[in-house]
A and B are shown apart, each in its own frame.
Chain A
Amino acid sequence: MKRGIILAVTLFLGFFLVLSPLAPAAEAVMGEPAKDFTLPDSTGKIHSLSGYKGKIVVLEWLNHGCPFVKKHYNSGNMQKIQKMYAEKGIVWFSIVSSAPGKQGYMTPEEAVESVKHHKASPKAVLLDPEGTVGKLYGAKTTPHMFIIDSAGNLVYNGGIDDIRSTNPDDIAKAKNYVRMALDELLAGKEVSVQTSQPYGCSVKYK
């Protein structure tokens, strides 16, 4: 009888634990493994984050229609940083999570063309029109930057720099958190500023 009751209670509790609403997927915690994902790029090639373990990876949320993104691209700032750190072995992904019909959305062909047009140097432009990976990471703005170290841990989540404006003149005056973090990682140091307020236009999710 007693064993029956214990079993019944266990099943009852188990039932509730399984059915209790799952806590909303929290964005990855700093210093902990970044969430794995798989996305196609503009050429159709598939990339998984886990395939780049051992490399420092930068994720840059992108929307070329957004004035904050234009600030960094029309000035050549973003492309300069991409090229500089690509030469040091960093893997840089630009990710587009705009839904079809919304600002920033690009077909694969348009994405290929935009890389040429802007003379950008990401390893690839990853296409996320469903917004799955954007929401997985909690990407709020374009640009929104994430850096994953060679061990696969999330070590930066925030804005590209510390001056929230659309004025390219502010680029030279601003503290560029991405460059700071990458320089620290390449020197074998800890990232000193791991989070900052991202600024930009809202990501145009579905």
Chain B
Amino acid sequence: MNVHPLSEKMSFNHPSSLRLVLFIVFFASVVIWTGCQNSDSVKAQLVSEVKSIQPGKTFCVALRLEMDKQWHTYWKNPGDSGMPTQIVWNLPDGFHAGEIQWPYPQKFEDNELVSFGYEGEIFLLTEIKVPDTVKPGARAEIVAEVDWLACKESCIPGHADLKISLPVQDRKPESGRRWTGRFSDTRRKLPGKFTDWKISAAVKNDLILMHILPPSWFESELTGLEFFPEQEGIIDLSGKQNLQKSEEGYVIEIQRSLLSGKLPSRLQGVLISKKGWSQSRIEHAMQIDVALHRFE
């Protein structure tokens, strides 16, 4: 179905009944174009960052989840309970979708159970690669089958089949104006690599010690740090993480999970800092992927 933006069709000389028809067509096409679906307590929508796509380039789409008050959905590591949001892509030949890029989550605590997820509105980003071979003038149908778990007190699984259709053009695409701000806000919430900070991790008995060496520009006191693991069953999520000064900088003492069997060779997760990791103080999440050393 070929869809033209309303602006191209609207003109002051059209009679009002035609304008009404056009409005209905536009509304219907917006729904198809942005792919909305509602389920109890969560509204799911697929949005593209750009209005067209270019052969050989990548573009970004977001799964927008809007949750009713007090309902939350889950991060890639949901924590003690829950289930991460999953996307299965159905793309035209040669297109390839990357992994979900997760903004850093919030921590939810209920009794001693800890989970990680999102409240309110969240954009889960995915980069999609367009093959060289696709022809300008064609349209690409991007289809996503989405499953999530939304919980408040009780939990309701949700499912949505979402679709968006984008024209292929041989020029740099324009950004869709409506969600541009959200895409950049979300990117700021993706865990970053702050290479001026030196992080290392080691296991010592029932603790994992995360050593932090601040950069020379960092002059204040490091407080308000928390590590959210990506791997399940390594850390006791309800245990207190103890941040202390050390010879070279700081160390966080993290309780291991009693269920942790064989330890992995690397520790992966997100380190949250209330004060932020860079001089701008607005980036709160650092991607951690370090070797997990043993004291033996």
| Cβ B259 vs Cβ A102 within 8 A | no
CA distance A158 to B233 in the complex (A): 10
Which of B15-23, B125-133, B151-159, B288-296 touches A? B151-159
Q: Which of B254-283 contact A (CB under 8 A)?
A: 258-261
| Cβ A202 vs Cβ B81 within 8 A | yes
Q: Which of A103, A138, A167, A195 contacts B153 (CB 8 A)?
A: A103
Q: A157-B259, A195-B233 are in contact. Are A66 and B154 (CB under 8 A)?
A: yes
B216 at interface by CB-CB < 8 Å: no
> What distance in Å separates the Cβ of B225 from its nearest Cβ neighbour in chain A?
23
| Cβ B154 vs Cβ A65 within 8 A | yes
Q: A65-B154, A67-B156 are in contact. Are A202 and B113 (CB under 8 A)?
A: yes
A26 at interface by CB-CB < 8 Å: yes
Q: Mark B75-118, 1 if CB is under 8 A from A, else 0.
A: 00010111100000000000000000000000000111101000
Q: Which of B55-83 contact A (CB under 8 A)?
A: 78, 80-83
- Nearest B residue to A70, CB-CB: B157
> What distance in Å separates the Cβ of B129 from its nearest Cβ neighbour in chain A?
28
Instruction: List residues of chain A with CB within 8 A of the CB of B113.
Output: 140, 202-203
Q: Mark B224-237, 1 if CB is under 8 A from A, else 0.
A: 00000000110000
Instruction: List residues of chain B with CB within 8 A of the CB of A167.
Output: 147
> What distance in Å separates the Cβ of A193 from its nearest Cβ neighbour in chain B?
8
| Cβ B83 vs Cβ A166 within 8 A | yes
Q: Mostly helix, strand, loop or mixed at chain B's interface? A: loop
Q: Which of B78, B115, B155, B261 contacts A195 (CB 8 A)?
A: B261
| Cβ A199 vs Cβ B83 within 8 A | yes
A204 at interface by CB-CB < 8 Å: yes
B44 at interface by CB-CB < 8 Å: no
B149 at interface by CB-CB < 8 Å: yes
Instruction: List residues of chain A with CB within 8 A of the CB of B233.
Output: 195-197
| Cβ B154 vs Cβ A138 within 8 A | no
Q: Which of B81, B110, B260 contacts A199 (CB 8 A)?
A: B81
Instruction: List residues of chain B with CB within 8 A of the CB of A158.
Output: 259
What is the total number of residues of chain A having a CB less than 8 Å from a CB of chain B?
Answer: 31
- Nearest A residue to B239, CB-CB: A24
CA distance A82 to B95 in the complex (A): 46
| Cβ B157 vs Cβ A166 within 8 A | yes
A165 at interface by CB-CB < 8 Å: yes
| Cβ A140 vs Cβ B80 within 8 A | yes
> What distance in Å separates the Cβ of A32 from its nearest Cβ neighbour in chain B?
12
Instruction: List residues of chain B with CB within 8 A of the CB of A204.
Output: 153
Instruction: List residues of chain B with CB within 8 A of the CB of A39.
Output: none
Instruction: List residues of chain A with CB within 8 A of the CB of B149.
Output: 67, 166
Instruction: List residues of chain A with CB within 8 A of the CB of B80.
Output: 140-141, 202
CA distance A197 to B115 in the complex (A): 13
Q: Which of B156-182 contact A (CB under 8 A)?
A: 156-157
Instruction: List residues of chain A with CB within 8 A of the CB of B260.
Output: 195
A205 at interface by CB-CB < 8 Å: yes
A201 at interface by CB-CB < 8 Å: yes
> What distance in Å separates the Cβ of A185 from its nearest Cβ neighbour in chain B?
18
Instruction: List residues of chain A with CB within 8 A of the CB of B155.
Output: 66-68, 201
Q: Which of A103, A135, A194, A200 contacts B154 (CB 8 A)?
A: A103
| Cβ A197 vs Cβ B259 within 8 A | yes
Q: Mark A97-119, 1 if CB is under 8 A from B, else 0.
A: 00000110000000000000000
> What distance in Å separates the Cβ of B257 from its nearest Cβ neighbour in chain A?
9
Q: Which of A153-206 contact B (CB under 8 A)?
A: 157-158, 164-167, 194-197, 199-206
Instruction: List residues of chain B with CB within 8 A of the CB of A202.
Output: 80-82, 110-111, 113, 115, 151
A27 at interface by CB-CB < 8 Å: yes
Q: Mark B31-47, 1 if CB is under 8 A from A, else 0.
A: 00000000000000000
Instruction: List residues of chain B with CB within 8 A of the CB of A140.
Output: 80-81, 113
> What distance in Å separates the Cβ of A79 from its nearest Cβ neighbour in chain B?
21
Given contacts A195-B233, A197-B259, A204-B153, 4 further A-B contacts (CB under 8 A): A29-B258, A103-B154, A197-B233, A202-B111
- Residue numbers of A with Cβ under 8 A of B are 26-27, 29, 65-68, 102-103, 135, 138, 140-141, 157-158, 164-167, 194-197, 199-206
10 A-B pairs, CB-CB below 8 angstroms?
A26-B258, A67-B155, A103-B154, A140-B80, A140-B113, A158-B259, A195-B261, A199-B81, A202-B81, A203-B111
